[in-house]
Amino acid sequence: MDFTLSKEHEMARALFKEFAEKEVKPLAQEVDETEVFPRETVEKMAKLGFLGIPVPKEYGGQGCDPLTYAMCVEELSKVCGTTGVIVSAHTSLCCDPIMTYGTEEQKQKYLVPLAKGEKLGAFGLTEPGAGTDAQGQQTKAVLDGEEWVLNGSKCFITNGKEADVYVIFAITGTVEKRGRLQKEISAFIVEKGTPGFTFGTKEKKMGIRGSSTYELIFTDCRIPKENLLGQQGKGFNIAMHTLDGGRIGIASQALGLAEGALDNTVAYVKERKQFGRAIGAFQNTQFQLADMATKVEAAQLLVYKAAMAKATQKVYSVEAAKAKLYAAEVAMEVTTKAVQLHGGYGYIREYDVERMMRDAKITEIYEGTSEVQRMVISGALLK
Amino acid sequence: MKIVVCVKQVPDTAGGVKFNPDGTLDRGAMLTIMNPDDKAGLEAALRLKDQYGAEVTVVTMGLPKAEEVLREAMAMGADKGVLVTDRVLGGADTWATSTTLAGAIRNLEYDLIITGRQAIDGDTAQVGPQISEHLDIPVISYAQDIKIEGDSVVVERQYEDRYHVVKAKMPCLITALSELNEPRYMTPGGIFDAYKQEITVWGRADLKDVDDANLGLKGSPTKIAKASDKVRKGAGEKVSLDPDESVSYIVDKLKVKHVI
């Protein structure tokens, strides 16, 4: 068992780190403060191929493995949680399902521009009444001649108003399962600008405030029949499989936030003096840092293991769930401790750890709450 | 067009500097980066490639570890990499280095050779012009802009308060300033591709028309008497006074130290 990264991965990390430090970090505070989507950063990332890292080259991507992608989200999130989730939602939740379930025509039409970063992607599963209970969907799609007609709404959609291509889930009928009628869910590709597709309110959030989180509204929105993604009725499986990959992206974001907070804190405790000594000289500080660093590394190992599992295994739900559960909880714990070690300054917006703590909270909630991850993990144990 | 770019792996000044007992740098023990002027030279070559079409070959001399800097150059878009490495080449000063690099470049086809103005570890600015002397081709140093006109290059050569426009027939050598451009980033896919490519590795035996007497530490006329890392200064003394008081304060201090 070898825990060293390959030279390629080391160099890729150095690239992501350099980009994050030079291009992303200087804007992080402003993006948070103004809640403005960092469009210029996204364009820079597009040029460098950061929006298609795990997509094969023949579809306009970089042809790298999931680990390289995870490291990209990690390094971006070290300095800006908003930028990390923009890449994660685009890649894991929009590129990935089209890559996995799309027809050749759909891949050429949608995946290629998405992977090249010419278009941005989003994913619409959650509804006001259907969060963890994804089966509680209300949005409907009815086939009318050569078109599907969508009606309903989706909420809390990342990259909401900024995206161009959306993977949307809707009920297409009912099926009988073990004697009970169940909703049949299907997946669709919807383009921005389709008549009947509009945006509702922009959410005002605690953290990741530069990411564009919107309600999507479909009112007699007609999309071509060929925009059905995968087989009709397989939408729930597509959503769950997509979220397995998404969880690796969010776990990477959480990991990056924890690492960023730890790095900031190590630097701070060396400088900050109280009672005539740097606070890093006090054993309480040292022990806190030791715990933080140990948990961060454990989280990193789980996240990298899940990314490697995605590369080599057909099913990696449990690995992804463990990585997301642990990395998110570590992110919350480490960022909270980072604020505490910064004392009063940690509560001030001028210091990055204040933002990191607010950004970290969402990683325990979206793309499956920590409770959902525990259901997935224990479900596999008790099967 | 064929362009050869010479790059050097140099210590990352952020990571600290370590020395061998003979005063030369312990390159194996330090964090490293591509020398900034060389990176600008590489970027200039890649822009010429984008604009006019060219094959860009990067050449470096160093420890086997210097392969990393070639992979980085290839991940940015260079086509080929040549690593010149051999124990007998170690400890080279600028004379031995330029002799070695010229001996390697004689094996390659080139219209243009681009080097950085100088490396941040030695700061001599000698290797580029020396290579041109060895190869008997013109050199234009301190390039801040490069254009191709037919079989010639037109270069803006930086001066303190102005620049000269210099035209030279190819083949010629240009030394680049880091101010020349903003080097591009690598791409993730480019990195993985770069590691799949072969790198040409040459030793002493592969160098063309060079004399052993001009190679390595033995062939280096420069002898290092003493070398040391930057000595950290103390925190000093900070005072907050108005300008008049400050002047008297400083003058008094200088008198105490017998400076004035």
B174 bridge partner residues: B114, B140
- What distance in Å separates the CA atoms of residue B13 and residue B233, rounded to the nearest whole number? 17
Whether B75 contacts chain A with CB within 8 A: yes
Residue that has been written with the tokens 């463990």 in this structure: A322
Compute the average pLDDT of residues A21-37: 97
Three-state DSSP at B170 gives: coil
Q: What is the pLDDT of residues B25-67, one digit of tens each?
A: 777 777 889 999 999 999 999 999 999 999 999 999 999 999 9
Q: What is the pLDDT of residues A231-240, one digit of tens each?
A: 999 999 999 9
Phi then psi for residue A62, to 5 deg, are -95, -10
What is the percent of chain B with per-residue pLDDT over 90, rounded to a whole number?
Answer: 73
B28 burial type by CB count under 10 A (0-12 exposed, 13-18 middle, 19+ buried): exposed
For residue A222, the model assigns a pLDDT of 98
- What distance in Å separates the CA atoms of residue B118 and residue B39, rounded to the nearest whole number? 11
Whether B187 contacts chain A with CB within 8 A: yes
Q: What is the pLDDT of residues A81-123, one digit of tens each?
A: 999 999 999 999 999 999 999 999 999 999 999 999 999 999 9
Instruction: Give the residue from A15, A51, A67 with the most B CB atoms within 10 Å of its CB, the best one to mutate.
Output: A15
- What distance in Å separates the CA atoms of residue B210 and residue B87, rounded to the nearest whole number? 16
Q: What is the pLDDT of residues B25-34, one digit of tens each?
A: 777 777 889 9
CA–CA–CA angle A303, A17, A352 (5° rounding): 85
Which of the pair, B15 or A298, is modelled with greater confidence? A298
| pLDDT surpasses 80 at B253 | yes
Which band of pLDDT confidence, cut at 50, 70 and 90, is reported for residue A283? very high
Which band of pLDDT confidence, cut at 50, 70 and 90, is reported for residue B179? confident
Which of the pair, B160 or A55, is modelled with greater confidence? A55
Whether A271 contacts chain B with CB within 8 A: no
Beta-strand relationship, B112-116 and B172-176? parallel
Domain residue spans of chain B: 2-214
Query: Given this structure, which CATH class describes domain B2-214?
Result: alpha beta
- What distance in Å separates the CA atoms of residue A5 and residue A14, rounded to the nearest whole number? 12
Instruction: Please indicate whether, in this complex, the C-beta atoms of A68 and B71 are within 8 angstroms of each other.
Output: no
Indicate the average pLDDT of chain B. 91
Residues 6+ apart with CB under 8 A from A338: A261, A262, A264, A265, A292, A346, A353, A356, A357
Instruction: Give the Å distances, CA to CA, from A113 to A59, A95, A98, A101, A121.
Output: 8, 10, 12, 17, 10
| pLDDT surpasses 90 at A209 | yes
Cα of A64 to nearest chain B Cα, Å: 6
Beta-strand relationship, B32-34 and B139-149? unpaired
Tell me which residue in A7, A15, A18 faces B188 most closely, judged by beta carbons. Answer: A15
| pLDDT surpasses 80 at B233 | no
b/e per residue B48-75 (b: at least 16 CB within 10 A): bbeeeebbbbbbbbbbeebbbbbbbbbb
Catalytic residue list of A? 367
| pLDDT surpasses 90 at A257 | yes
Compute the average pLDDT of residues B138-159: 94
A167 bridge partner residues: A123, A189
Cα of A16 to nearest chain B Cα, Å: 9
Compute the average pLDDT of residues B81-96: 94
Compute the average pLDDT of residues A142-159: 97
For residue B160, the model assigns a pLDDT of 85
Chain B's closest residue to A12, CA to CA, is: B188
Residues 6+ apart with CB under 8 A from A158: A85, A86, A89, A93, A122, A123, A211, A212, A213, A366
Q: Which chain B residues have a beta carbon less than 8 Å from that of A15? A: 75, 185-186, 188, 191
Q: What is the DSSP letter of B115?
A: E
- What distance in Å separates the CA atoms of residue B218 and residue B241, rounded to the nearest whole number? 57
- What distance in Å separates the CA atoms of residue B193 and residue B76, rounded to the nearest whole number? 11
CA–CA–CA angle A182, A369, A155 (5° rounding): 65
For residue B120, the model assigns a pLDDT of 84
For residue B202, the model assigns a pLDDT of 97
Q: What is the pTM of this model?
A: 0.90
Residues 6+ apart with CB under 8 A from A33: A209, A349
Instruction: Please indicate whether, in this complex, the C-beta atoms of A8 and B195 are within 8 angstroms of each other.
Output: yes
Tell me which residue in B187, B188, B195 faces A7 most closely, judged by beta carbons. Answer: B195
Instruction: Give the residue from B39, B191, B197 with the most A CB atoms within 10 Å of its CB, the best one to mutate.
Output: B191
**Residue type for A355, please?**
R
Whether B68 contacts chain A with CB within 8 A: yes
In this prediction the ipTM stands at 0.92
Which band of pLDDT confidence, cut at 50, 70 and 90, is reported for residue B97? very high
Which band of pLDDT confidence, cut at 50, 70 and 90, is reported for residue A293? very high
